[in-house]
Structures are given as structure tokens and as C-alpha cells.
Amino acid sequence: MSDQVEVVEETVPDEAVDAVADEVMDDGTEADVEEVGLGAPSLGAALEALLLLADEPMSVMDLASAVRQPAEVVEDRLRALSADYNEAGRGFDLREVAGGWRYYTRAECSPLVERYVLDGQQARLTQASLETLAVIAYRQPITRGRVSAVRGVNVDGVIRTLLTRGLIAEAGHDGESGAHLYVTTSHFLERMGIASLADLPPLAEHLPDLADLEDVLDSVATGD
């Protein structure tokens, strides 16, 4: 009688497989993420790069589409990044707000940030900022395009500076072009030491006839 060898096929419990998978993920290898062609050293780095560019919260779906990875994988990595930042006590954190994710300065750094912003507002305005502010003060409400027409230069950067310092604010849209209209604020009046715009010194003798000025601005704005 020949000896027969019984072969016993052993199966590995699902719990053991899950444990190994978790251990691999804990090592940071991101086993379930295909990073070939990602365009970044890792999924975490890719998400960080995209979020640094964002000026508003980015949804998981938008991020997943950009990095070409499953949404659940992206969400897990976002939460891991947020936890890492908190644990390390970084000066910023990653928050889930308004249906998306965005970087914010950490709340514990608020005194420093406030001091920096306030100190920056004490700095003197440049000549370009003063000229742009004067145009807005005397011609408000006025669009950015018309301010540029009066000054003869692009004023995008200056407008942002004046908005940041709270000296001007948006006040609706122009009925024809749809462009933002800008006006001065109460903070502007406080800094000028006047009660209202009526207290601004008259400039009539330094300006062309208002009707002529409107014609000039309209021709510049339309390119005629």
C-alpha cells in the first residue's frame, strides 16, 4: 500500500489580512495609492501643493479629480495631514469648512498675526496708493477700470492694498459693465480726520469740467 500525503490548504483569516494592511499603511507607504504619474513625491505632497494654491476651500471630489485618486483615499490622507499638523503644533492647520478643505493660521498664533497685520497698517502709503485713494475718494462709486483710466496705469495691486487696509470697500456692481464699484470707508474718514466726504477739500480748480471728464473716462473704458 502506497503512502498518501494529505495536503491541507490553510486559509489566512480576514482579520490577519486587515492587520497587515493597516501596518503597511502606518508605515506611510500608501499601499492602496498608485502614485505613478502623480506629479508629486507623494499623495500628501500633492494635496499640500494644491491647497496652498487655493483661495477658497477645495472639495474632496475636486482634489481627487486633480490627483486622480479615489475620493475616499484622498479624504483619509487629508484627515491624516490635519492630525499630523495638530500633533506637531505647526503654525497652520488644515480644516474642513464649507464643504471643502483649506489651510488656516493656527488659533494659538492669533496674537502674533494680529500684531503683524496692525503694524503693517501703520506703514505709510506709497505715492501710487495715495493717488489711487484720492481718485476713489473724489469719484466714488467708481470701477477699477475707471481708476486705471484716470491714473494711466494698472491699479490692481494698489486696490488690493487699499482693501486690505480697510480704506476702501466694494459697493455693488456697475450697471453697464458689471464691474465692481469701489467707495471709501468710515475708516478712511477716521484716518483723514473728517466727518463726511463733504469735508474733503475742493478740487474743482484742478479738474476738467465734470462732463468732459465723464466723456474721457467713457472713451477710455470703451476703447473708442
Q: What average pLDDT does range 193-218 have in this prediction?
A: 65
**Quick check: 121 and 115 in contact, CB under 8 A?**
no
What average pLDDT does the chain have? 79
Contacts of 147 (CB under 8 A, 6+ apart): 132, 135, 136, 139, 155, 159, 182
Helix ranges (H only) for 140-197 are 144-151, 156-164, 186-192
CA distances from 21 to 69, 91, 104 (A): 18, 32, 33
Element (H, E) at 138: helix 127-139
Torsion of CA 213, 216, 220, 224, to 10 degrees: 150
Confidence of residue 177 (pLDDT cuts 50, 70, 90): confident
Look at 71 and 29; give whichever has higher pLDDT: 71
pTM for the model stands at 0.44
Look at 54 and 26; give whichever has higher pLDDT: 54
Alpha carbon 215 to its chain centroid, in Å, reads 37
The three grid cell numbers given for residue 8, joined into one nine-digit string: 491541507
Distance (Å, rounded) from C-alpha 9 to C-alpha 52? 52
**DSSP assignment, residue 56?**
S
pLDDT at 157 > cutoff 60:
yes
Contacts of 12 (CB under 8 A, 6+ apart): none
Kindly list the structural domains of the chain, giving each domain's residue range(s) and its CATH number in brackets, ordered by start: 14-108 (1.10.10.10), 124-222 (1.10.10.10)
